[in-house]
Amino acid sequence: EDQVTQSPEALRLQEGESSSLNCSYTVSGLRGLFWYRQDPGKGPEFLFTLYSAGEEKEKERLKATLTKKESFLHITAPKPEDSATYLCAVPDNYGQNFVFGPGTRLSVLP
Amino acid sequence: DAGITQSPRHKVTETGTPVTLRCHQTENHRYMYWYRQDPGHGLRLIHYSYGVKDTDKGEVSDGYSVSRSKTEDFLLTLESATSSQTSVYFCAISSSGSNKTQYFGPGTRLLVL
């Protein structure tokens, strides 16, 4: 069974305190790993897609990296506006649908 | 923002009544999806469509049906709502291809009393 796990479940950071979120997956034949940000009361917002081990993508204070079995979302010098739930997802083995992780709830305190 | 709207945005209904949620897109994307999101379960796929009149079941399809008569509209129907279907429902769209990014709508918050 395809599985996606994320850790930690919740993370509280002080403004400027860098950290990383983890996404691990068990689907074979990875066809992309997708990161989303979700604010309370809103739909997930697409951030990045990574396709191969060693690939990195950056957007403002966020950098996503990919290995063969996991991805990291590094947050450098976060600001309170980075507070959100971060979701990762991978296409299932049939390539038709996504399997989502449960998310990491990030709080950045001023 | 991807052109996706959902209606209604909020709904309160009673157990046993039928409910239809609508997803409308202006992107002309082939694939459309319905998810539900619940605490402790994350996003779970209910049904998806890969073209007009082409639909298939997802992980949690029991108690739900869908229809897609036009590219731009994807309807989710709860034939007889139950309290376990209280949830936030998200529609998503994507273009063709196996490595396709899904773009999400704003969600519909449904409460079944």
pLDDT tens figures, B47-79: 999 999 999 999 899 999 999 999 999 999 999
Report residue B24's pLDDT band, with 50, 70 and 90 as the boundaries.
very high
Give the SS3 label for residue B85: helix
Q: A85 to chain B: which residues are within 8 Å by CB? A: none
Mutation to test the A interface, candidates B6, B25, B43, most A Cβ within 10 Å: B43
* pLDDT recorded at residue A19: 97
Backbone angles phi, psi at A94, to 5 degrees: -90, -10
Q: Which residue of A has its CA nearest to B47?
A: A97
Q: What distance in Å separates residue A9's CA from the closest CA in chain B?
A: 10
Instruction: Compute CA distances A29 → A52, A81, A92, whole Å.
Output: 11, 35, 9
CB count within 10 Å of CB A46 equals 16
* pLDDT recorded at residue A8: 97
Q: Which of A36, A41, A97 sits opposite B48 (nearest CB)?
A: A97
Residues in chain B: 113
Report residue B22's pLDDT band, with 50, 70 and 90 as the boundaries.
very high
**Contact (CB, 8 A) for A51 and A94:** no
Q: Is A97's CB within 8 Å of B40's CB?
A: no
Q: Is B45's CB within 8 Å of A91's CB?
A: no
* pLDDT recorded at residue A26: 86
Q: Which of B98, B105, B107 sits opposite A31 (nearest CB)?
A: B98
Q: Is A32's CB within 8 Å of B99's CB?
A: yes
Report the alpha-carbon distance of residue B32 to residue A59 in Å, rounded. Answer: 27
Considering only residues 37 to 66 of chain A, which have any Cβ-Cβ distance to chain B shorter than 8 Å? 41-46, 49, 51
Q: Is B50's CB within 8 Å of A51's CB?
A: no
The mean pLDDT of B34-45, rounded to a whole number, is 91
Q: Is A96's CB within 8 Å of B101's CB?
A: no
Q: Which amino acid is at B14?
A: E
